Structure 1
Amino acid sequence: MKSPHKLLFTFLMLMSTILVLSSSNWLTTWMGLEINMLGFVPLMYHTSTTDESETAVKYLVPQSVGSTIFITSALISNHFSNTQILMPIAMCLKLGAAPLHFWFPAVMSGLSLTPAFLLLTWQKIAPIFAISSMNPHLTTKILPIAGISALWGGIGGINQTDIRLLLSYSSIAHTGWMLASVTASSPVLVMYLLTYVMINISLFISLLQSSVKTHKQIFPSSQKPYESFLLAITILSLGGLPPLTGFFMKLLVLMLSEAKTIIVVSLILGATLSLYYYLSLTFSTLLSLHKMPISQLKMVTSTSISLLISQIMPLSLLFFFF
């Protein structure tokens, strides 16, 4: 094995997240968060360049500050109950939720695609479930952060050319929806997170195959038309276009969340802005379908129908449980 240390640090990252999910006190949660951070930092190095070292420091500093605020507020809360509000705010800093997102785009822009995928998906699990395990009155107080994140993620993604920055602002917007789903019943957060991870897996597989850096390289001319079409469907699902999976998950959050009207409006407006730049990204690809040969068009039709069914049906079945 060329890099046995990566297997070790990947194991640390996975086990520390499980430690956070199974912990029964804040000290164990803090330990899991720290091990998770230390396990992920070595995985950020792919080419061992100076840029990656700078990116690792940009990630390490806010994560350490967030962990310090979390454990300090947990200890002080025994004497000053008002400091408990700092605990979910510290987790929002670790998540990269707006307005505490200052480090997130800078880190994403300096990462390779594989660690960027881990940062967008796996590294969100421990902080978001730490928030969901807190007292309900604390999670309700951070709902304004959810609205701000959704809005800022939609606004920041407009006119972005780097695909990593585009995905980072999309992640900030989705973080807002995840924070809003914390106030809903417990399965909603799990389903939203799983859906977000699955869509990102299919998206990053396509990006890794073509070594994409800018948005103009997402749909290269050498790519087969039906592959471009399926990638466009995945991107639009991430943006929440009905009737794809991302739309149903956001609808589920709006139906079951305890967010106030102004927070709901912020979430919807942010999702609309995010969908705008995703549609502008895929518009030319979707319009070029009429240029495809009949043989490829048949392939697109059958494949796209199966993709749509696989995206919609599992979530449609889940509605029977609510």
Structure 2
Amino acid sequence: MKSPNKYLFLFLMVSSTCMVASSSNWLTTWMGLEINMLGYIPLMFMKENTSESEAAVKYLIPQSLGSTIFIASAIVSSHFNNSQILMLMAMCLKLGVAPLHFWFPPVMASLQLTPAFILLTWQKIAPILAISSFNPPLVKSIMPIAMISALWGGIMGLNQTDIRSLLTYSSISHTGWMLASISSNSIILIAYLTTYIMINSSIFTFLTKESASSYKQLFSPKEPTKLFILAVSILSLGGLPPLVGFVMKLLVLMNTEAKLIIILGLVIGALTSLFFYLSLTFSTLLSFNKMRMTKTEMTSSQTIMFLLSQILPLSLILFFF
């Protein structure tokens, strides 16, 4: 982000999310979602190449379609209450949850790491906050989508070798868990979002300093401490106990009002995701007892982000509970 105008678009993106969080009517919510989309699109252009232009178009079309369905359904909902389900579907399209995720992996594959990180984390906040503002009986109607998203993200991740594709399908799976947490408690939703963003921050902090695309290149023996931190962060994202990612999923399961079949689908999707994350990091963890850690490595930015990603969400849980 060398251009000063990037900071203006970043401010628009952040302020529009705050606008959605504080809105009291559907028109203000729609305006916040539109400003959020328009503020993010210029941030997608880091190297000004053709793939980024293609990604911007692939992102713009489904987002515009979702916004159009949302505002049209909001207008019609004043006469027909049943049309509000279309507003939920529009938000699911903007989130990129299964089976409305057709635009999400191609966009992620064409982006640089910084806009990809924003798309995986911050761009999920506004649609999820919009969904959480619906009536609880209406929110429960999208619990099957949460289950399908968790299952699909876990199954599709099994065939991936690119680390960015793995994070993409993991994001689809985690979005299903976020939708399930909406029916439980707003505190748990905020804590889950914070946990997810912090763990991804730890992973992307490592990825920005590496030029690896496949997981075999990523986990080649270079610096032992950094590899261990990356492996633990990925396992925390997968929900391995007793890491903080597992604690958040356990809180969702303990407090959600979803049916048993939905909970089973979420658990199976989480176990599938954990399986390919374990297979990805297994060799690194086994060879760690042969490695040596140095003092200079332990003071790196990767270590600081790792500690924050594991400690900050737990502190948030202790503060509210």
Give per-residue Cα distances to partners, 1:247-273, cap 9 Å, x unaligned.
000000000000100000000000000
8 Å contact 1:154–1:170 — kept in the other structure?
Answer: yes
- What TM-score, normalized by structure 1, do the two folds share? 0.93
Query: Who is 2:249 aligned against?
Result: 250
Give per-residue Cα distances to partners, 1:285-307, cap 9 Å, x unaligned.
001113224x659x98xx99x96
Deviation (angstroms), 1:232: 0.4
CA distance in 1, matches of 2:309, 2:28: 38
CA distance in 2, matches of 1:205, 1:74: 40
Deviation (angstroms), 1:161: 1.4
- Count of aligned residue pairs for this structure pair: 316
- Map residues 23-102 of structure 1 onto 2, 5 A cutoff: 23-102=23-102
Distance change (3 Å), C-alpha of 1:53 and 1:321: closer
Query: Who is 1:270 aligned against?
Result: 269
Percent sequence identity over aligned pairs:
66
Give the 3-state SS of the residue equivalent to 1:51 in structure 2: helix
CA distance in 2, matches of 1:275, 1:112: 26
Give per-residue Cα distances to partners, 1:145-173, cap 9 Å, x unaligned.
00000000000111201221111100000
- The reply to whether residue 163 of structure 1 matches residue 189 of structure 2 is no
Deviation (angstroms), 1:217: 2.2
Query: Who is 1:279 aligned against?
Result: 278
Query: Who is 2:240 aligned against?
Result: 241
8 Å contact 1:243–1:312 — kept in the other structure?
Answer: no
Deviation (angstroms), 1:315: 2.3
Give per-residue Cα distances to partners, 1:72-105, cap 9 Å, x unaligned.
1110011111111111111010000100001101
Give the 3-state SS of the residue equivalent to 1:157 in structure 2: helix
Distance change (3 Å), C-alpha of 1:239 and 1:282: same
Deviation (angstroms), 1:308: 7.5
**Which deviates more, 312-321 or 116-125?**
312-321
Q: What runs of 5+ residues in structure 2 fail to find an aligned partner?
A: none
- Map residues 111-130 of structure 1 onto 2, 5 A cutoff: 111-130=111-130
Letter paired with 2:190: V
CA distance in 2, matches of 1:309, 1:165: 25
CA distance in 2, matches of 1:313, 1:193: 12
Distance change (3 Å), C-alpha of 1:4 and 1:178: same
CA distance in 2, matches of 1:317, 1:120: 21
**Which deviates more, 223-232 or 166-175?**
223-232
Letter paired with 1:44: M
- The reply to whether residue 219 of structure 1 matches residue 224 of structure 2 is no
CA distance in 2, matches of 1:168, 1:31: 27
Give the 3-state SS of the residue equivalent to 1:210 in structure 2: coil
8 Å contact 1:244–1:308 — kept in the other structure?
Answer: no
8 Å contact 2:199–2:306 — kept in the other structure?
Answer: no
CA distance in 1, matches of 2:232, 2:285: 9
Query: Who is 1:289 aligned against?
Result: 288
CA distance in 2, matches of 1:258, 1:270: 18
Query: Who is 1:131 aligned against?
Result: 131
CA distance in 1, matches of 2:179, 2:113: 25
CA distance in 2, matches of 1:143, 1:255: 16
Q: What runs of 5+ residues in structure 1 fail to find an aligned partner?
A: none
Distance change (3 Å), C-alpha of 1:317 and 1:178: closer
Distance change (3 Å), C-alpha of 1:218 and 1:180: same
- Map residues 4-15 of structure 1 onto 2, 5 A cutoff: 4-15=4-15
Deviation (angstroms), 1:214: 1.7
